[in-house]
Structure 1
Amino acid sequence: MSGPPYSAPLFLIYLCQSFIRDSFMKLQLEAVRAFVAAADEGSFTAAGRQLKKTQAAISQQVQNLEIDLGFDLFSRQGKYPKLTEKGQRLLKDARMMLSQVEHFSEQARSLEGVAEPRLRIGVDPLVGTPELLTIMSEFAETFPHVELYLVQQNSQSLLQKIDDGQLDAVLGLFPKTDMVDFTSVDAFQISSHWVASPQLAESLGQPIRYASLCHSRLLLPTNLPEQSMRKMTDMVQVWQVEDLNTLLSFCRSGIGISCLPDFVIKQDLENNKLTPIQFDFDRISHFDWRATLLWPNGHQFHDAGLWLFNKLAHVRQ
């Protein structure tokens, strides 16, 4: 037999087209398995023993594959079949193809009975505590076949995404008025403190008086709970910054003072890039914000979702 040479990618494309064209996918896969087994074992007889088939069946399957391809995979001139040059070139891709088919089969078997193959979760960076990494690691081990789509944006953006049906649930900071149309569960508290660069803190004096505060600037994450910050934002100029890294850079540079979660500022405090500040009206020196889980009313979660939400609701701060 003879025919035009096929490159390795063309071989895979040809087989895919062949499967679709003649609907003999099982037969073609068996022929590829026979080809690989014969190449690995060195004879059709040994390949038959490996695949629990007769020597004649293996020989016929390989021959059928050669007819479909239009060229010989083996030379049969000696006692044992020997791979042709084209057969050698295609053997690696044939192995790859069988590996992918096996992976596909394993995935299909593993997903059987999995009611929740994918979760789409949104998390506000202001509540993205280090404990979340531990939870996600446990989730990956407990539900290895459930895909996780994770979005990190501010709470209002996440609220819009869940309202548009792009997310299944969100974890963030939400005013009570935003929870009306959703099912909600209170999660953990986020402890936060006011900080500034050491230079700015020294220039303002400690504790900071009301008069000094009025001449300063607040650097705040966007969409913080309105009530907790109203007294402060009514007093002074406010810069709202969505990206926490940018906000931290501004604060380190002395542009203003900021109130941020303890897990966000921990490293900067340890490295003396930021310092805690106090006010002579100490009631506002510290805030605790409550993280909340939201999801659409009536949405039914299964094992993976319920496991994850239970873990998120019991994070310890």
Structure 2
Amino acid sequence: MIRLELLKSFIAAADTGSFSAAARLMGKHLATVSGNIARLEDELGVVLFDRKGKYPEITAEGLNLYDSAKVVVDSAERFSNNALQLSMGVPAELTLALDQDINVDRIFAALPEFQKKWPHLRLTVVNLSAEDIFEGVKLGKIDLALAPTLEGQSSFYEFMAIGQCSLKMVVGKGHPLARKRHVSNDQLAMTTQILSNSWQSQPTMMQAARMSPYVWFAQGYHGTVDMVRQNLGWSTLMCGNDPIPEGIVELDAEFAQTEFLIQYDAIWPKNRGLRDVDLYLIDAFKGLLKLSVND
């Protein structure tokens, strides 16, 4: 089996254009790098560099083998790094659940860096209703979640308070209510109200939020935004401190004079400690969602 060190010397020489530059790049003696390349040529039975000129020039055969050598070295290094992380307790996979009723777009901005830090980890991200999140954590199907606080139900999960998110009353820019300077409760009650379908399983939330007998249901935050943008009715959005989505305006409504806040927690299965990967995502909950921390 060809030693990785020989392949690394070959790649470094091809990248830098000389054996001496490759030696400096690798922090090795010139004789070591030159010898590694010569041994590799002997093992392969192929001349990789033409040494006739002042600087060695990679041959057509060398060019042909270069990409394959890179794949082998990169794969071996990835394998070693993955094995090291697994030995240090980093999980092989993680299921992250996000409440479907809150705008979590900014959390996804943290995932490219997450991928760089833990490239071997297989991440699954799901947007679910609060009820499904708690059930998934209880059954051990969800490893970490951002969910509304559920009082008195923490017997099967650990939690960390993240903060509060305000509800904003909104309507599409083309809706008749958008042209009114002030909207009364009676006007809201006479207009179609759009609610998240997840609230159908939360009677207390439904009772508090429903103001109109004319109700349509949408699939989570983005479904609600889409329906409101089409001027189908008014709704309340959990936007955190993010701006109102394009095509939608906030209503100056009598009902909205009182600020409604929903507390959010990070939750995970009972009796499991937080790992570095969990803490990274919890920081994303706090920083990217810009929830106002409840001191």
Measured against the shorter chain, the TM-score band is: 0.5 to 0.7
Partner of 1:172: 147
Is the Cα contact below 8 Å between 2:198 and 2:220 reproduced in 1? no
- Summarize the Cα distance change of 1:111–1:237 in structure 2 as closer, same or farther, 3 Å threshold: same
Partner of 1:19: none
Partner of 2:101: 126
- Summarize the Cα distance change of 1:178–1:219 in structure 2 as closer, same or farther, 3 Å threshold: farther
1:153 to 2:127 alignment: yes
TM-score normalised over the length of structure 2: 0.67
Is the Cα contact below 8 Å between 2:49 and 2:59 reproduced in 1? yes
AA aligned opposite 1:64: E
* Secondary structure class of the residue paired with 2:260: strand
Partner of 1:252: 229
How many residue pairs match? The answer is: 274
Instruction: State which of 140, 144, 152 in structure 1 corresponds to 2:117.
Output: 144
Is the Cα contact below 8 Å between 1:32 and 1:65 reproduced in 2? no
Gap runs ≥5 in structure 1: 1-24, 67-71
CA-to-aligned-CA distance 1:71-115 (integer Å, 9 cap, x gap): x44699x8999977544422443344334434544x258638743
Whichever structure has more helix as a proportion of its residues is 1
Gap runs ≥5 in structure 2: none
Identity value in percent: 16
Instruction: State which of 60, 63, 67 in structure 1 corresponds to 2:42.
Output: 63
Partner of 1:8: none
Alpha-carbon distance in structure 2 between the residues aligned to 1:193 and 1:75: 67
Partner of 2:251: 276
Alpha-carbon distance in structure 2 between the residues aligned to 1:168 and 1:233: 33
Spell out the pairing of 1:45-124 with structure 2 (5 A cutoff).
50=30, 52=32, 59=38, 61-66=40-45, 72-73=46-47, 85-102=60-77, 104-105=79-80, 107=81, 111=85, 114-117=88-91, 119-124=94-99
Spell out the pairing of 1:174-189 with structure 2 (5 A cutoff).
175-176=150-151, 179-189=154-164
* Secondary structure class of the residue paired with 1:151: strand
1:266 to 2:243 alignment: yes
Partner of 1:295: 268
Instruction: State which of 177, 182, 201 in structure 2 corresponds to 1:201.
Output: 177
Cα RMSD (Å) of the superposition?
4.7
Alpha-carbon distance in structure 1 between the residues aligned to 2:156 and 2:184: 41
Alpha-carbon distance in structure 1 between the residues aligned to 2:196 and 2:183: 23
Alpha-carbon distance in structure 1 between the residues aligned to 2:152 and 2:40: 68
Is the Cα contact below 8 Å between 1:31 and 1:65 reproduced in 2? no
Is the Cα contact below 8 Å between 2:168 and 2:237 reproduced in 1? yes
Instruction: State which of 194, 201, 209 in structure 2 corresponds to 1:219.
Output: 194
AA aligned opposite 2:117: P
Is the Cα contact below 8 Å between 1:187 and 1:291 reproduced in 2? yes
Alpha-carbon distance in structure 2 between the residues aligned to 1:87 and 1:311: 46
Is the Cα contact below 8 Å between 1:30 and 1:61 reproduced in 2? no
Instruction: Tell me by how many angstroms 1:297 deviates.
Output: 0.9
CA-to-aligned-CA distance 1:205-254 (integer Å, 9 cap, x gap): 944244x4443221012324542430453751322211433322322333
- Summarize the Cα distance change of 1:87–1:122 in structure 2 as closer, same or farther, 3 Å threshold: same
Alpha-carbon distance in structure 2 between the residues aligned to 1:35 and 1:130: 44
* Secondary structure class of the residue paired with 1:239: strand
Alpha-carbon distance in structure 2 between the residues aligned to 1:179 and 1:215: 39
AA aligned opposite 2:226: S
Moved more, 245-254 or 288-297: 245-254
1:229 to 2:206 alignment: yes
